[in-house]
Amino acid sequence: MNVAEKESVQKVEGGSIVTPKGFKAGGMHTGLRYEKKDFGVMYSETPAQSAAVYTKSHFQAPPLKVTQESIAASGILQAVVVNSAIANACTGEQGLKDAYKTRELIAQRFGLPEEYVAVASTGVIGECLPMAIMEKGCREIAVHKDYNSAKSFQQAILTTDTVEKTSCVKMQIDGKNVTIGGAAKGSGMIHPNMGTMLGFITTDANISSPVLQSALKKAIGTTFNQITVDGETSTNDMVIVMANGAAENKPLNENHPEWVLFQEGLTLLCEDLAKQIARDGEGATKLVEVRVKGANSPEEANIIAKKIVGSNLVKTAIYGADPNWGRIVGAMGHSEATLQPQGCDICIGEELVFSRGTPQVFNEQSVSDYMKQEEHVVIHVSLQEGSGQGKAWGCDLTYDYVKINASYRT
């Protein structure tokens, strides 16, 4: 269900990471990139309970290790610093020193304990950060609570992205207005496995770090972890959330009568950002959504959905507006989920193309026109294994994806 359709959780049009009470942000151009903004900070006026999820790549970048250390110290953050252009990944001991130095400089800039600062980087792998430029950014960055400052942060975190990605939702808990804001980046090298992709979330909810960690992990499982652009998991994937309690609601946990409301709000925000990433896949022209029902479990429904949306053959068929349902069957056929062909129905849009193991007569031109004309193509899969439901999102695969990645460093 769309965020705007829910009565209890409402989308905040024009909202951002600075919409929740007590948060500021900023972005600037330092020289890491030729012209575009490349350095940003997200800041809470008071210490915030925090949580994060990270890539499961064996080559986790130094910024992730520093951030993990910061959150492990007390569960509290007050600032997140992020740079684009250079990922500071696979950079050895020097990369770790540079990440620690960046944390130290931002802590000094805002008068914070070092462990209250998280670090994130995105960009080219295998290059060390030019620390003279990073130091300039740490000295000069300014944060404010206004639309333009949030926008500057959103721009500063982008790499091959073509659009900024932001979302904001609100709800009432204990009679208080609770707001969740988010920004994300990601366009290529997207196949999160936790959680190149970064997500930054702020909320003024009153919630402890361990409870927030549980809520974030649950939200990630059906949102960011259910998108794919090219099947590639980055060294730097991370989603981080800060909760400063400024809304003054009673402490949230699973025993709170309105806990489900907060979990829904966080999940809907993550889903909105995840879909924006999928739609902005490198060279993409379509957002592709796969909806599965009747699976053995929600987990198996998610496996099937992501298998379909991640298939290069399905992705190229959608780009070519070819209603070749055989490619969908092919992708499902080697998933790790339980399914029986004779209990399977497949629709492209609203057109039934395969049912109970048998091809269906359908208007190919009509389905092709749907695939050409719609920017959001939906594939429905219905099974008869159980009551499990799941979704996944991706994009089509175009010539431009090859062009962008063939010359990424040049």
pLDDT in tens, 197-227: 899 999 999 999 999 999 999 999 999 999 8
**Would you give the end-to-end CA distance of the chain in angstroms?**
42
pLDDT in tens, 138-155: 999 999 999 999 999 999
| DSSP state for residue 374 in the 8-state scheme | -
Residue 408 has pLDDT above 70, yes or no: no
Q: Are strands 165-173 and 176-186 parallel, antiparallel or unpaired?
A: antiparallel
The candidate with the shortest Cα–Cα distance to 187, out of 270, 283, 119, 267, is 283
Cβ neighbour number for residue 119 with a 10 Å cutoff = 27
Alpha-carbon Rg for the chain, nearest whole angstrom, is 21
In the residue annotation, 67 being an active-site residue is answered as no
- Strand, helix or coil at 113? coil
C-alpha span between 401 and 398 (Å, rounded): 6
| Angle in degrees, 0-180, between the axes of helices 298-309 and 325-333, rounded to the nearest 10 | 130
List, in order, residues 6 or more apart from 346 with CB less than 8 Å away.
Answer: 325, 328, 329, 352, 353, 354, 355, 379, 380, 381, 382
Predicted pLDDT of residue 283: 77
pLDDT in tens, 151-187: 999 999 998 888 999 999 999 999 999 999 999 998 7
Cα–Cα separations (whole angstroms), residue 30 to 11, 63, 83, 303, 358: 33, 19, 10, 42, 59
**Taking the complete model, does pTM exceed 0.85, yes or no?**
yes
CA atoms within 13 A of residue 308's CA, in its CB half-sphere: 31
Structural domains of the chain, ranges and CATH numbers in brackets: 3-278 (3.60.70.12), 287-406 (3.10.20.340)
Catalytic residue among 91, 196, 202, 222: 196
Predicted pLDDT of residue 280: 84
Please work out, in degrees rounded to the nearest 5, the angle formed at the alpha carbon of residue 284 by the alpha carbons of 294 and 319.
70
Residue appearing with tokens 């949306």: 309
